[in-house]
Structure 1
Amino acid sequence: MRGSDAMQEALFTVAKLEDFVPADHPLRGVRTLVNEALGRLGGLFNLIYADTGRASIAPEKLLRAMLIQIFFSVRSERQLMEQVRYNLLYRWFIGLAIDDAVWDHSTFSKNRDRLLEHEVVESFFTEVMTLADKCQLLSKEHFSVDGTLIQAWASHKSFVPKDGSNDDANGGEPSGRNTQANWKGKPRSNDTHASTTDPDARLFRKSHNTAAIMSYQGHVLMENRSGLVVGAVVTHADGLGERAAALAMLDTLPGTHPKTVAADKAYDTRDFIAACRQRRVTPHVASNDTRIGGSAIDGRTTRHAGYAVSQTIRKRIEEHFGWGKTIGRIRQTLYRGIRRVDQHFKLTMTASNIVRMARLFTRIPQGAVQ
């Protein structure tokens, strides 16, 4: 018998959001970790918000919504609010009931900026790492470091002389919103030019075989036991940013005991090697024998078995970069200004950590992580 194509809704429906989410859904483990970390931030949230006045959006819900935007590659706040209206999985993760009103995208953006201004993302990152340390997932001795290029939300046409002069990029024709530009034969550098769209962005290229783009540099310090990010920072894009950021992140590691740090050939410089050894950190850096003067490390370091292990494990740091660029959408940031780009990069690396930790917990007996 053919069924009817008509749809008739019941007058009353008794259903919970919990009923719509499968028991084995990956977000269940992720939400448990997120809620445990957010539960430790109650004191910070009380300092940010006033005791009186109209109730604002709960900061816990804001952070969960920002994580949803990363997990599912939602490109904008406007699209996120639109999808939260009809996606029950998003509502369940954020903490909105079926009949709760969804915020306007402008209201969401203003409240999100409040969290960024008070560096809530950094505190959230710290609490997630505290949970990982409590579960004995973090290494205290062995680390890896690397950097990646983040394309800025600015175009070459916004890269104009700082003194306000006209560099005739359009060949003398009247300027407009999207005029043809030609900079062939005209010197353009970060010393003389700056972007009017994002002044913090820098013109940079990774090698002589690639084009220069307006960009930032994101840096990550990873521990080698579980492959979790323990440090993340964004700097201006320049030739010295990777090594300077690596040393700054190494300085934040607790304890004065000996440590190792693995890195690629870009870190094989005598100043970086010497700075690491001053910090009692053994540099397991890939040898760059093609550099003028030879490699800064020799057989005293490379002959040990631990050096080969570090060189193998350090490549796992690319998993965080790959996940962040394909899922977290940090290949080209939507934010302007180094501070906001830094907060977005930290939140993306935190989300990558949470996903990795949730997968690790499914392989570890429950009694071992309590």
Structure 2
Amino acid sequence: MRGADITQEALFTTVHLESFVPKNHPLRSIRSLFNEALRRIDWLLCGAYSERGRESIPPERLLRAQLLQVLYTIRSERQLMEQMSYNLLFRWFVGLTVDDVVWNHSTFSKNRDRLLEHDVIPALFEEVVAIARKRNLLSEEHFSVDGTLIQAWASQKSFRPKDEDDSDSTGGGRNQEVDFHGEKRLNDTHESKTDPDARSFKKSKGSEAKLAYLGHTLMENRNGLMVKARTSLATGRGERDTAVDLLAELPGSRRKTIGADKNYDTREFVDSCRGMNVTPHVARNDKRRGGSAIDSRTSRHEGYAASMKVRKRIEEGFGWGKTVGLIRQIKVRGLARVNAVFNMTFIGWNLTRMVNLQGGSA
């Protein structure tokens, strides 16, 4: 007998969200690892909130929601809250029940800013790395470093002289005509009126200049996990200067190696590495004026050849961050906010890698 197409909901239900999530779903292991990292920064979260006043959105839920935004390529808080309202998997992951009211997107954004003020997400990134170290997933000797261009959330039309007032515009609405061809536009004399931290920058000769930031990661070579992640203003020295800072923060005093591409083949960077007891396995740039800073004493060893091969894996993380994650063109403005999104993106990368390395179990 044909069944009738009638929807009739029960008056009461006893089904729990837990029952909707398959036992082997990868988010179960990711959530377990992420919750472990959250517990390790509980002291920081307590210090970010007053003991008086109305209760805020629990910061743990805010952070789980931001992680979902990275893992599922959700472009805005408005879309995230829309998904949260009907996606049972998202509700379960964040910690909401079926009956909980989903936050307004503006409330979510305002509460997120409190975490930004206390550098919660960079601290959370460090705790995820500490968990990986505790589980013996990291190399403590061999690393690779690289940088990537992050396109800013600002138009080239907004890149105008610093002394120009908004009232100097000729009208035409939000998308007015601007002809800057033939005009010499430099970061020293111009700035973006919508994102002053963004810099006009091009990654290589012949490519177009874009308003951008630089993202930097330090990868351990055993499993391709990112042990450091940071953003900087887009300058010609940004990659090398930030790489030196990241290397200086590595724990331990034992000798290390660092693989890098030809952009890092400068006398200053190589000398800085050696001063920190780090052997620079940098790709030789023999066309550079004065020749390469790497001589045969370094490049003749098998370890150098191994670093040259493994260092390219760092591009996998950047590729994941720009296709799955949110860093191809960042949807926030200001260096601090960009850094928070960048760190959360590589928290997602590390957690995904850790779950895969451990066979899907936390």
**TM-score higher than 0.5 here?**
yes
- 1:92-125 CA distances to partner (integer Å, 9 max, x unpaired)? 1001111111111111111111011110001111
Residue 351 (structure 1) aligned with residue 348 (structure 2): yes
Partner of residue 314 from structure 2, selected from 309, 312, 317 = 317
Distance 1:190 1:44, change over 3 A: same
Residue 136 (structure 2) aligns with = 136
| 1:137-216 matched pairs, under 5 angstroms | 137-164=137-164, 174-216=171-213
**What letter matches 1:5 in structure 2?**
D
1:3, distance to aligned residue in structure 2 (A):
2.2
Residue 244 (structure 1) aligns with = 241
| 1:37-52 matched pairs, under 5 angstroms | 37-52=37-52
- 1:193-244 CA distances to partner (integer Å, 9 max, x unpaired)? 1111011100011112210000000000111112111111111111110000
Residue 336 (structure 1) aligns with = 333
Residue 91 (structure 1) aligns with = 91
- 1:268-313 CA distances to partner (integer Å, 9 max, x unpaired)? 1111111111111100011112222221112111111111111111
| CA distance in 2: counterparts of 1:192 and 1:42, whole angstroms | 44
1:179, distance to aligned residue in structure 2 (A):
2.2
Identity %: 58
Partner of residue 261 from structure 2, selected from 261, 264, 269 = 264
**What letter matches 1:218 in structure 2?**
G
| CA distance in 2: counterparts of 1:133 and 1:174, whole angstroms | 57
| CA distance in 2: counterparts of 1:123 and 1:241, whole angstroms | 22
| CA distance in 2: counterparts of 1:100 and 1:174, whole angstroms | 46
Residue 58 (structure 2) aligns with = 58
SS of residue paired to 2:146: strand
1:174, distance to aligned residue in structure 2 (A):
5.0
**Which 10-residue stretch deviates more, 310-319 or 85-94?**
310-319
| CA distance in 2: counterparts of 1:222 and 1:233, whole angstroms | 12
1:2, distance to aligned residue in structure 2 (A):
2.2
1:251, distance to aligned residue in structure 2 (A):
0.5
**What letter matches 2:20 in structure 1?**
F
Residue 280 (structure 2) aligns with = 283
- 1:111-152 CA distances to partner (integer Å, 9 max, x unpaired)? 111011110001111111111111011111110000000000
SS of residue paired to 2:358: helix
- 1:137-190 CA distances to partner (integer Å, 9 max, x unpaired)? 111111000000000011111111112279x9x9xx655422222222211110
SS of residue paired to 1:362: coil
| CA distance in 1: counterparts of 2:33 and 2:73, whole angstroms | 20
Residue 69 (structure 2) aligns with = 69
| CA distance in 1: counterparts of 2:219 and 2:190, whole angstroms | 35
| CA distance in 1: counterparts of 2:187 and 2:357, whole angstroms | 44
SS of residue paired to 1:111: helix
| CA distance in 2: counterparts of 1:51 and 1:174, whole angstroms | 49
Residue 226 (structure 2) aligns with = 229
Task: Give the TM-score of the pair, scaled to structure 1.
Answer: 0.94
Q: Tell me, which stretches of 5 or more residues in structure 1 are unaligned?
A: none
1:57, distance to aligned residue in structure 2 (A):
0.7
SS of residue paired to 1:153: coil
Task: Give the TM-score of the pair, scaled to structure 2.
Answer: 0.96
Aligned length: 361
